[in-house]
Copies of this chain bind each other. A is one copy, B any other.
């Protein structure tokens, strides 16, 4: 029997569910300083990009690009339009294959350095979070959630 996909619990602590795309679980990183979506392919036992079957790699790229569009819309909704996307699959801390899509601006706290491995995340407050999830779901063509 094939292993089931299970989300690494580390993602639950650091992000909020946006919804499921065709391949990936899409999550909003809980750091209101950056519009930031994390995509986790819903397949068991993936660690490196090459572990993803060749037939699904295109879907990951499509979803990364869609997440980039959603991140731009999150930036606009927050009054801070994105100037550059940062896209990365790292996995040094959480090994389960995932891709970060982060909207960056020259006036953000980490610019021009990367956002990973730096302290100081600012969790969303409840209203900001509801707004951001609604914007992200609409951008990604996902149904609003109750």
Contacts and interface: CB of A to CB of B under 8 A. Distances in A.
Residue from A69, A84, A104 with most neighbouring chain B CB atoms (10 Å):
A84
Interface of A: 47-50, 57-58, 60-61, 64-65, 68-69, 84-93, 95, 104, 111-114, 116-117
Contact of A61 (B61, B92, B116): B61
By secondary structure, the A interface counts as mixed
Contacts of A91: 84-86
| Number of copies of this protein chain within its complex | 2
A47 B68 CA distance: 13
Nearest to A48: B85
Contacts of A114: 88, 90, 92, 114, 116-117
